[in-house]
Amino acid sequence: MNGTNMNDGNLKNGNLKNGRKIPGRGVLAWTAMLVGLFVVSLTAGLVPAFAGEAPAAVKEMLKKLETQMANENPGFKGFNAVQGQEFFKTRRMNKKENEMISCASCHTEDPRKSGMSKANKPIKPLAPAANPEALTDRRNMEKWFYRNCTQVLERECTAQEKGDFLAFLLSVGV
């Protein structure tokens, strides 16, 4: 051998490098584009980052909310985790309590952590990534949406708010 790599000829043809096939430029370009789209969608809150399978009750509720939204708004494009996070953390004046409150007032800013109710009762984490029991019963979710929305917002939550909020909880990883 005169110091040259035996695979140089194959490398120039795009076939082998260290005995492995090198993908063509087209495959690499498509892969990069798809990864880029996924990352942009993830950071925009359009694709949940939840590592596990969403609980069946959440899927069922999201489907119901999506149908409701599509009927109310033909231009509906889906729920948004970023808007759900804003909804969760936004403080609002509660006239009955005469104070600024948000969902995070009791549930904490991080839905992976335990919170405390106004009656000093512990609240388990809301995010399924931190609490596998969370969001597993549709009736229970509807009950707590009603109670918490009427307490924090002094009205019921809209289908858009509920869907965005659920998308946010599914986007929260461990």
Q: Could you write out the DSSP letters of every residue in 71-123? A: HH-TT-----HHHHHHHHH--EEETTTTEEE-HHHHH-SSTTS-EE-TTS-EE
Q: For residue 2, is it within any domain?
A: no
Q: Are 90 and 22 in a shared domain?
A: no
* Per-residue confidence in pLDDT tens, the chain, 174 aa: 445 444 444 444 444 445 555 555 554 444 444 444 444 444 444 444 445 678 899 999 999 999 999 999 999 999 999 999 999 999 999 898 899 999 999 999 999 999 999 899 999 999 999 999 999 999 999 999 999 999 999 999 999 999 999 999 999 986
Q: Are 65 and 37 in a shared domain?
A: no
Q: For residue 49, is it within any domain?
A: no
- Full domain range(s) for residue 63: 56-171
Domain of 115, CATH number, reads: 1.10.760.10
